[in-house]
A and B are shown apart, each in its own frame.
Chain A
Amino acid sequence: MSETSCPESVVPEPRPPRRTFFELVTYGLGAIAAAVVGLPFVGYVVGVRKKPVAWVPLGSVDGFPLNETRLVTFANPLRQPWDGMVANTGVYVRNQGEDQLEEFLVLAMNCAHLGCPVSWFPQSGLFMCPCHGGVYYANGERASGPPPRGLFRCVWRIQDGQLEVQAPHYPTLQDTLDQTA
């Protein structure tokens, strides 16, 4: 913009006033063009499609013996149609008895530490994580190791004698499964 940078040999042409206007219009148009392309693109990359709540039947309520923990597996309805076996997931179900505050305990299989799959050991009544040795009691509470909290609890309901669980998303410390419960 500054004419002083021009070589001296070039005689500066008189600057028509409409050029300043044209410059400003060009900057403005460029900014708008960048925004109408850039903002939708960012929205596309960052956006996550909200999926409707899906309920997964886990089996008849009578199929869960009192005070036993069972792994129930299913294909997560939150999957993409092209996810294949990767959509397989599971929840640990424990029938705590009708006299308890919560009749059923439905726990995600992901460790609260870094998400590895915990295994249930009925012999010692403990969940153990293979990654860093996080251990949980049968009620999902943290027993030892690095996890900062207990196992993530899923939202469940009983519908026509069937135990159903709300399809779990991948749970993390600030995005648990039972916030709505």
Chain B
Amino acid sequence: MTSEQRPTGLVRRLGSWFDVRLRFGDTILPMLRHPIPRSSAGPLGWWYVFGSASMTLLMLQILTGIGLALVYVPSADKAYDSLLYLDYEAPLGWFLRALHYYAGSGMVVLVLAHATQVFLHGAYKYPRELTWMVGVVLLLCTLGMFFTGQILRWDPDAYWGLAVGGSMAGRAPGMGPQLVHLILGNVVIGGDALSRFFALHVFVIPGALLASLALHLWLVLKCGISAAPVPGQAVDPDRYDAEYQHDLHTTGVPFLGPAMLKDAFFSAAAVLVVVLLAAVLGPKGPNDPPDPLLAGANPRPEWPFLWLFALLSLSPPEAETFIILFLPLLLIAALFLVPVISNRGERAPSRRPVAVLLVVVGYTVLGTLTYQGATAPWSPQMTAWSGEPVPVDLIDGATPVRLAGAAVFQYKNCRNCHALEGRGGKRGPDLAGVGARLTADQLVDQISNGTPGGGNMPAYGKQVSPDEMTAMVEFLSALRPHGQPAPRSAAVVQ
């Protein structure tokens, strides 16, 4: 206090008046000026911008979230109307909803990018293990916000999403019904569930997220920002601290400078991209009103969960309960344990082929499953039987029996699961060329008995008359590409 110079000018004197009391000058300012390794302030510093940009979008989420809370009504009978009011009547309500959706999506993208960068650069190694683990909590909170936010949209996707979530929880051994009640807050899906997800989305998860974020930032300050990885410079917990401090004191540069400028630039760019997406694409939904009796319900999770949706849908029924209940827990545990498995050694990606491979394979799997989840070929098309006519070239010049068979094929709802030339359900195989694959006897057997052992196709034996069966098999047997011979059963040839 004694060494303080008398500042001149009103602003400086005012600032000084506050700082004598607040003491930001010797608490907050040194934090901002804390030295960081020179390498991470240089061009390589562009790798370090994802975390701060995630935080910037979080601020945008808080701002737009408060804005939406001024209008949104978390009541089962009014939520949908209040969303329509936001979309179509409240001034700029549509823009706020769109911003909230795309900033949330951007947060997921940036948190993943941040985690991937930290993983690839080995920045989670000693002494930053705990920083990584708290980061995993932040990722889970971000995903939790996305999931609970989709429920607040309170359209059929939200309603049936709760139904699917409830059914999944209901499989937990020994505590299924209790878990369902905990999630739904009632014995039926309704306002109690909406209120629970509102409380989670607005109070519980944001509280956990902000507390974890404070811890995360504290750890970043206390452990310091990791230097850009250099091949050959391995992390040795016994020597790391001394070397890191030595580097900071000899070549370190303050964070408040080029490094922070990069962060600020990228954050601003991220916000602008989000604003552009929101302005051009507009708000997401809500879709139809939340009437459980509306036909054509086909709930889709939001995009960050499409991979899990696909994994579930593509798994055999025997493995399903395990995948629903335990796979997410295993994945989360694996993420938490990354720094426990290896917290020393090389950091450079060029010396860590397994880490690079994990990232490449991981994102390839996630991307493929997400694509599958977006197209969802396992979902029958419930209106295909009456909405998708038999392609004309398949019945060109057909006999009356074949024509009748085509009509039976349509009428018995086969198209809901079976496409013809790509049009119709994708649940079962496309039958446009089935006449070259199965004999008439095999067709009769397949249609009558379905998939052996109760697989994917129901037994139609009692659902079609003998005449209908004959006609349908005639129709299907003739579905052969030009020039392909009719199949013969090997069993007949002695």
Contacts and interface: CB of A to CB of B under 8 A. Distances in A.
B459 A170 contact: no
Which secondary structure dominates chain B's binding surface? loop
Interface in A66-95: 73, 76, 78-80, 82-90
Given A51-B187, A84-B76, A142-B454, A89 B163 contact: no
Interface stretch (A8-16, A23-31, A98-106, A131-139): A131-139
Contacts of A89: 188, 292-293
Nearest to A119: B382
Contacts of A78: 186-188
A123 B290 CA distance: 28
Contacts of A148: 317
A121 B415 CA distance: 13
Interface stretch (B166-174, B270-278, B331-339, B393-401): B166-174
B247 interface: no
State the main secondary structure of chain A at its contact with B: loop
Contacts of A65: none
Interface residues of B, number: 66
A174 B187 contact: no
B295 A175 contact: no
A127 to B, nearest CB: 10
Contact of A83 (B77, B176, B379): B77
A144 B190 contact: no
Given A45-B182, A86-B159, A174 B170 contact: yes
A143 to B, nearest CB: 3
Nearest to B189: A170
Given A90-B292, A124-B411, A128-B382, 13 more contacts: A48-B181, A83-B77, A85-B290, A110-B163, A114-B163, A114-B164, A115-B160, A115-B167, A124-B412, A128-B380, A128-B413, A129-B380, A144-B459
Interface of A: 45-46, 48-49, 51, 73, 76, 78-80, 82-90, 110, 113-117, 119, 121, 123-126, 128-133, 135, 137, 142-146, 148, 169-170, 172-175
12 contacts: A82-B191, A86-B191, A113-B167, A124-B413, A124-B464, A125-B462, A126-B463, A133-B378, A169-B188, A170-B166, A172-B170, A175-B170
B446 interface: no
